[in-house]
Amino acid sequence: MPDHTRRKKHRARSGLMYWWTSMIIFCMLQRADAGNSPPICNQELYVFNIPENEAAGTLVVDLGAECRDPLDGDVLTFSIQTANIGNQFTIGTNTGRITTSFSPNAEALLGNGLNYISPYPMNIFVQDTDDETFVVSVVVHITSVNDETPVISGLPSSLTVAEDTPVGTVLDTCTLSDADYPGFDHSQTEVEISSGNEDGKFVVDYRTCDLVLVSPLDYENTQQYTLTLRVYDLDPINPLSSTFDLTIDVTDVNDNDPTCSSYNHREALIEDSLAGEVVHTVTCNDLDTGLGGTLTYTITAGDSDRLEIKDNTVGDISLVTSLDYEAGDRFLEVEVTVSDSTAPTFSTTVTLAFVVKDADDNPPQFSAATYTNNVLEHAAIGLVVVNLVTSDLDEAGTDLATPTYGFEGACNPNDDWFRVDAHTGNDIYLFLSTKA
């Protein structure tokens, strides 16, 4: 075979061998590259927001659905390598599912010194069977929700307040709290009196919870108030609230004058009233309680020698001595001071006037014990036989001192001989003739 032919054939075989060799190398390189290529995921960074009230086991992301081995479909494994603060999250080694380890309560995180507002970054290693690795960054933000009810604390269930407490006094104060994570509307609180303050006696500062008296108290009108305080958060959509019942007991102080049924009383008093007899009762009361409502009665002016109060806890007015109209007892007057029994003392005065009235306590008197006269037997009918003269110490001109007349006993048998005018006559006159 000629050399040039031999050379051509050799060159042809050599070229084919070169191409085949090249192809084999290229394919081997490609195959090697494909077998050692790392996994890939749809994203290198994932950012999620999770409400704090999600239950433990809540799915954050399924990296098993996000990542793959692009060439040969190797089985991937997943692990959290860095920054899983507080072990809040777990990842399925074979599934790539990242879930919460427990309910990501924002307030609990705060109690553990963790600030949920800062993001929770995690580096997730995704490995294939050739130990090729792809790093995925996952950042989780836990969002606060309004899941804590605000409360009132530091306030007793009851207060005792004197009725003379000055207006403007801070009766007590309380603390408003909301366990929601601070810095949000739903962690801010305000308070109000929702019921029991119809009289407008009290005001509560909506931020400080100072309970202030703004109108005078009056024990005699109201002894107790039951206020309902309502604390609420400022969540504009779904505010939460709670209530606190406060009982305010008003205590009495001596701040009322005694009051009486009459302050100037005038009445008639019959002279035959006996010594020691109660002739009038002063009736008074006091709206205060205890010693402030316990009254004493004292005669402080007037005829205290004729009238007295034997028991100063009651208002009975008694005669010291009997009366005698004819001896000049015509008018009696006393001033009675009625006082309560504790400091500061309040008192009032009652004036009593008694007009003494005469009683029929004196018999009429004849001017003589015996009247004697001679009557002729032929005296005419109507002849005045005797002029009777009488007197009466009772008040003249009244029925008490006006006598009536009549015969008594057998001095005028059968009214046959004499008659006397029962009302006006002081004369005994001949009624029938004495002539037989």
Measured in whole angstroms, the distance separating CA 180 from the mean position of its chain's CA atoms is 31
Distance CA 431, CA 421 (A): 11
- DSSP-derived pairing of the beta strands 347-357 and 264-270: parallel
CATH of domain 151-251: 2.60.40.60
Q: Count CA within 13 A, CB hemisphere, residue 33.
A: 6
* CB contact at 8 A, 389 and 364: no
Residue pLDDT tens, the chain, 436 long? 444 434 334 333 333 222 222 222 222 223 334 446 889 999 999 999 888 788 888 899 999 999 998 887 889 999 998 766 667 789 999 999 999 887 766 666 655 544 555 678 889 999 998 888 999 999 988 888 898 999 999 999 999 999 999 999 999 999 999 988 888 899 999 999 999 999 999 999 999 999 999 999 999 999 999 999 999 999 999 999 999 999 999 999 999 999 999 999 999 998 888 899 999 999 999 999 999 999 999 999 999 999 999 999 999 999 999 888 888 888 999 999 999 998 889 999 999 999 998 777 667 777 777 777 777 777 777 777 777 777 766 666 666 667 777 666 555 555 566 777 766 655 665 555 444 4
Tokens of 68: 């793959």
Of 219, 220, 221, 275, the residue nearest 249 (C-alpha): 219
Which of the 8 DSSP states describes residue 325?
G
Residue 149 vs residues 58, 118, 240: alpha-carbon distances, Å: 24, 24, 6
CATH of domain 259-357: 2.60.40.60
* CB contact at 8 A, 352 and 317: yes
Query: In DSSP terms, which residues pair with 269 in a beta bridge?
Result: 356
What 3-state DSSP class applies to 366?
strand
Distance CA 99, CA 90 (A): 5
Number of C-beta neighbours around residue 257 at 10 A: 15
Residues sharing a CB contact under 8 Å with residue 14, sequence separation 6 or more, in sequence order: none
Of 65, 70, 69, 72, the residue nearest 127 (C-alpha): 69
Which of the 8 DSSP states describes residue 385?
E
Q: What is the pLDDT of residue 16?
A: 27
Number of H helices, E strands in the chain: 3, 32
* CB contact at 8 A, 102 and 96: no
Distance CA 163, CA 173 (A): 19
Distance CA 300, CA 244 (A): 55
Range 40-143 classified under CATH 2.60.40.60: yes
Tokens of 217: 């108290």
Distance CA 160, CA 321 (A): 52
Q: What is the pLDDT of residue 84?
A: 67
Q: What is the pLDDT of residue 399?
A: 60
